Amino acid sequence: MTILTIELDAGSWKTAYDFRSALKAAIGAPEWHGDIVAAFLDSIFGGGMNVLKPPYVIKVVNTVHLAPELKELILDLSSAMEDTRMRRLARTGEDVAARLVLKSRIRTLADSERPHLDWG
């Protein structure tokens, strides 16, 4: 099974709306899709609503500058997705392989050329 990887660039995000809008676009959600966690869980794990179908991994990149509240929102949705995936697998035996992750990588600072951990 091939797992599609999609990167969402958080470089310009300032608000939760920015993240939710980017996520909706990435999964091909309908215009009337809700903004709460439950709406994303239903559309991703319930199926039949979004253009993008699992399996996939959505990696959020360029997150260094994000407000702590926005990072927490992303991590909360990521955790909720993993919990929902595991509960569904245990209940039905079906693995709906969809994940949301904050991507970390090593970057080099141009001014000092010292590597540092970059959560984006």
Torsion angle (degrees, nearest 10) of CA 76, 79, 83, 85: 110
- Domains of the chain, first to last: 4-118 (3.30.370.10)
Helix, strand, coil percent values for the chain (each to nearest 5)? 40, 20, 40
Cβ-Cβ contacts under 8 Å for 106 (sequence gap 6 or more): 115, 116, 117, 118
Radius of gyration of the chain (CA): 15
What is the rounded CA–CA span in Å between residue 118 and residue 120?
A: 5
Question: What average pLDDT score do residues 21-27 get?
Answer: 98
pLDDT level of residue 106 (50, 70, 90 thresholds): very low
96 DSSP 8-state letter = -
Residue 58 φ then ψ, to 5°:
-105, 115
Question: What average pLDDT score do residues 8-36 get?
Answer: 97
CA angle (101 as vertex; 98, 55 as ends), nearest 5: 20
pLDDT per position as a tens digit, 43-89? 999 988 999 999 999 999 999 999 999 999 999 999 999 999 999 99
Give me 26's structure tokens: 């990435």
Inter-residue contact 63 to 10 (CB < 8 Å): yes
